[in-house]
Amino acid sequence: MNIVSRNGPAEEVTMTSREIAELTGKRHDNVLVDIKKMLIELRGEGGLLSFQDTYQNPQNGRTYPMFRLPWDETTCLLTGYDTKARMAVIKRWKELEGKEIQDQPAIPQTLPEALRLAAEAIEQRDRLALANAAQAEALAEAEPKVRALDLITAGEKSITIRESAKLLGIKEERLTSWLHAHGWTYRLNGKWVAKQEHIIGGRLVYKEARYTDQKTGHEAYAPYCHITPKGLAKLAKVFGSEQPELAA
C-alpha cells in the first residue's frame, strides 16, 4: 500500500485514507464517508477533487477510490475520533515527517558551508573520474594479453619452447629457466624433456626428433619438449601477472 505521496508543486507529504483506517481501526468505507463529509463542509463539493485518488487491489486487480490528506485535513478529521486513534495517527505523522527530513539533501545555511559542500562534490567527481580513467587504462593494457590468450587456448597443436617464448613476449632463456625451476622439465642428454606429471596434466608433450648419427651412420632419436595450448594458457597467466614466480 502506498503510504506517502506528493501532491502539487510543494511536494507535500500526505496520508492515505486506507492508512488512516488501519491506524484507527475503522472500516475504510466509513473513513471515506467521514472524509467526504468533512471536505464538503470545508470546501464544498468541488473540494473533493483535490484529494481524490485510487488504489488497485492486488488480489482482484480492481480499482477502488481513496483520499490523500495533508496534515491539516488529517488533523481536522481526527477531532471526531477517539483519543487512541488520534494518537496513533499523530505518531505515524511524526514518522512520515522524519522520513521526509532524512530523504532531503542537506541545505547549506551559510556561505562557508555551501563552499565546503561544493568542494566535497568536486572532490568526489574527480575521484570518480580518476577511478574510471584507471579502469579504462587497465582494460586497454589487458586487452592484447586477453586476445593473445584466446588465440593460444584456441589452438590445437603443441609448439616448441622457442615458439612459446615468442608468443608470450619473453626471452627463450627466461622461459627455459622458469620451466626447469618450477619442475616442468629436466635435462636428458643435453636436451630439455617434459616431466611426466605435466605430460599427464596436458601442459607438455614428449617429442622425439629423428636424425642420422654422423659417427655411426645409424638412425637415432633425440627427445625434446613441446608446450600445449593448455600449458601456454597457464604460462600466459604466470608471465602476464605481477608475480612471475607463482608455483606451477
Tens of pLDDT, residues 193-214: 889 898 888 889 888 777 677 7
- For residues 151 and 215, the answer to whether their CB atoms sit within 8 Å is no
pLDDT at residue 9 is higher than 60: no
- For residues 55 and 1, the answer to whether their CB atoms sit within 8 Å is yes
Q: Where are the domains of the chain?
A: 6-103, 108-154, 157-240
CA of residue 222 relative to chain centroid, distance = 55
Q: Please tell me the predicted confidence (pLDDT) of residue 89.
A: 81
- For residues 25 and 32, the answer to whether their CB atoms sit within 8 Å is no
d(Cα 81, Cα 150) in Å, to the nearest integer? Answer: 75
9: helix, coil or strand?
Answer: coil
Q: Please tell me the predicted confidence (pLDDT) of residue 1.
A: 35
- The answer for residues whose C-beta is within 8 angstroms of residue 126's C-beta and 6 or more apart is none
Prediction pTM value: 0.36
Q: Please tell me the predicted confidence (pLDDT) of residue 111.
A: 57
Query: Over the stretch 31-80, which tens digit does the pLDDT of each residue have?
Result: 999 989 888 888 887 778 888 999 888 888 889 999 998 888 888 887 77
- For residues 76 and 24, the answer to whether their CB atoms sit within 8 Å is no
Q: Please tell me the predicted confidence (pLDDT) of residue 141.
A: 62
Helix, strand, coil % in the chain, rounded to nearest 5: 55, 20, 25
Residue 115 or residue 176, greater confidence: 176
| Contacts made by residues 206-215, CB under 8 angstroms, sequence distance 24+ | 207/158
Q: How confident is the model at residue 140 (pLDDT cuts 50, 70, 90)?
A: low
pLDDT at residue 100 is higher than 60: no
- The answer for residues whose C-beta is within 8 angstroms of residue 221's C-beta and 6 or more apart is 208, 209, 210, 211
- For residues 227 and 239, the answer to whether their CB atoms sit within 8 Å is no
Q: Please tell me the predicted confidence (pLDDT) of residue 73.
A: 85
Q: Please tell me the predicted confidence (pLDDT) of residue 174.
A: 92
Mean pLDDT along residues 208-228:
77
Query: Over the stretch 155-178, which tens digit does the pLDDT of each residue have?
Result: 557 888 888 888 888 899 999 999
Mean pLDDT along residues 1-11:
41
Mean pLDDT along residues 225-229:
87
Query: Over the stretch 186-198, which tens digit does the pLDDT of each residue have?
Result: 888 788 888 989 8
- For residues 182 and 197, the answer to whether their CB atoms sit within 8 Å is no
Residue 170 or residue 6, greater confidence: 170
Q: Please tell me the predicted confidence (pLDDT) of residue 146.
A: 58
